[in-house]
Amino acid sequence: MKPPPFAYAAPATLDEAVGLLTEHAEAEPRVLAGGQSLIPLMNFRLAKPGYLVDLRNVAGLSGIRREGDVLVIGAMTTLSQLERSPEVAVAAPLLAEAVGQVAHAPVRNRGTIGGSLAHADPAADLPAVALAAGAELVAAGPAGSRRIPAAEFFRGPFSTALAPEEILTEIRLPLSSGGHAYVKFSRIHANFAVVGVAALTELDDDRIRRASLAVAGVAPTAIRATAAEQVLTGTLAADVAATAAEAARAGVAGLAPAGDLHASPETRLALARTYLRRGIELAVSRARNER
């Protein structure tokens, strides 16, 4: 399973990288970050980019910093770096919890947050986190830089709002307060999610002021479970045992996920209900504990 031939460059600047994507557009170029998703596809010869633009030498694309109420993460920051970052643990515990469940350490050592989000695998964990957290994705292109809300970023399986010449440079995560949970069901430990749920809940006294829930595995992309959020908002944390179940049911109503050899549509809906409920309960209990 050897990859097909491609032209390759490892430019030193972002402008050069964008320029190469533009210049070689007819070769169907791809950006190479950690390669943990792209190279397997190339080994299977399911992806055959004619040109690979490697971002490894582009300065300034990795790193974690605070900008007021926002955690700014460079797209080339590896998942291992995120896992070990004290800043992420404090400012984005939802991300920290999710990253630890993405594949295994060797994959996290090279895989990047930007690569994972730009790849947009429907079974991936981080798109759901980006949705729940209300992240902004910063993309650099020939016309300059723009910010894309997560809600507009994921278009379909392996398909995002990025134009072919655009490169993801930063992920901007609003700081969350309250409780968080990332829970997922996979068949084998740390495998891709059959379903995954990212949950953020904020409490006002004991009332749920805000809930942000995203689900992976029940649609062509990760989705916000807005119906579930509406059920939860305004309810008492003390009643979460009942409200979480109701919210979960609302959250999957009307969904028609595709089935595969791991789970039928009916099973995916059942798992999504279960994990929505568990995610909500865990996030709320953490929110209560923090008060």
Partner 1 sequence: MATDTRTISLTVNGQPVVAEVEPRRLLVDFLREDLGLVGAHIGCEHGVCGTCTVLLNGASTHSCITLAVQADGADISTVEGLADGGELHPLQDEFSAKQGLQCGYCTPGMLMRAREILTRNPDPSPAEVREAIASNLCRCTGYQFITEAVLAAAARMRATREVVP
Partner 2 sequence: MTTADQATPGAPPVRDHSAKRRWVGQSIRRVEDPKFLLGRGGYIADRITPGTLHAAVLRSPHPHARVVGIETAEAKAAPGVHAVITGAEAAELCDPMPDFGPDPARHTWRCLAAEKVRYVGEGVAVVVADSRYLAEDALELIEVEYEPLPAVTDPERALADGSPLVHEALESNCAYERSFDFGDVERDFAEADVVVRDRLRWHRSGGQPLETVGAIAEYDPGTGSFTIDTNTLSFTSYLFMAAATLKVPVNKLDIRPVPAGGSFGSKLFANKPAMIAGMCARKTGRKVAYLEDRVDNISNCDHHGSDRVYDVELAMMRDGTMRGIKIDVIDDYGAYIQFGVGHHGNALAQVVGPYTIGSVRYRVRAALTNKNQQGAYRGFGSEVNNWMLEQMVDKAARELGLDPVAVRRMNFIREFPHFIPTGNVYDSGDYERVLDHALDLADYGHWRDEQRRLREQEGRYIGIGVITAQERSVFSATEFWFWFDEPGAPVTSTPESVSLKVDATGGITAVLYSCAFWGNSPETMVAQLVAEEFDCSPYDVSVVYHGSRDGLPATGPGGSRTTVMLAGAVEGAAGRIKEKARRAAAHLLEIGPDDLEWADGGFRVRGDPERKKSLGEIAIMLHLFKHSFPEDMESGLDASKVFDHPYTTMPSADRKDLGVFYPFVGHACHVPVVEVDIETGAVTFLHYAAVHDCGTLVNPRSLAGHIVGGTAQGIGTALYEEFVYDEDGQLLSSSFMDYLIPTAMEVPELTLGHVETPSPYTPHGIKGGGEGGRMMAPAAINAAVNDALAPLGVRLTELPMTPERILAALRAAGHAG
Q: Which residues bind partner 1 (CB under 8 A)?
A: 1-8, 10, 32, 35-36, 39-40, 42-44, 50, 52, 54, 56, 80, 104-107, 109-110, 189-190
Handedness of CA 176, 179, 184, 190 (dihedral sign): positive
Partner from partner 1, partner 2, none contacting 220, C-beta within 5 to 8 A by type? none
For residue 78, the Cα-to-chain-centroid distance in whole angstroms is 13
Interface with partner 2, residue 8, by CB under 8 A: no
The one among 56, 147, 187, 291 contacting partner 2 by CB under 8 A: 187
Stretch that binds partner 2, among 1-9, 22-30, 66-74, 151-159 (CB under 8 A): 1-9
Q: Of the ranges 20-28, 57-65, 168-176, 262-270, which one interacts with partner 2 (CB under 8 A)?
A: 262-270
Decide which of partner 2, partner 1, none touches 149; Cβ closer than 5 to 8 Å per partner kind. Answer: none
Query: Is the Cβ of residue 24 or residue 273 nearer to partner 2 in the bound state?
Result: 273
Among 69, 264, 290, 291, binds partner 2 (CB under 8 A): 264
Q: Does 5 bind partner 2 (CB under 8 A)?
A: yes
C-alpha separations of 148 from 172, 181, 194 in Å: 10, 24, 27
Q: How far is the CB of 141 from partner 2 (least distance, A)?
A: 32
Sign of CA dihedral 277, 283, 284, 285: positive
185 contacts which partner out of partner 1, partner 2, none, CB within 5 to 8 A by kind?
A: partner 2
Total residues contacting partner 2 by CB under 8 A comes to 26
- Looking at beta carbons only, is 102 or 237 nearer to partner 1? 102
What is the contact mask toward partner 2 in residues 9 to 48, using x (rule: CB under 8 A)? Answer: -----------------------------------xx---
Does 1 engage in binding with partner 2 (CB under 8 A)? Answer: yes
How far is residue 138's CA from residue 172's CA, in Å, rounded to a whole number? 8
Query: What residue ranges bind partner 2 (CB under 8 A)?
Result: 1-5, 44-45, 185, 187-192, 194, 260-264, 266-267, 270-271, 273-274
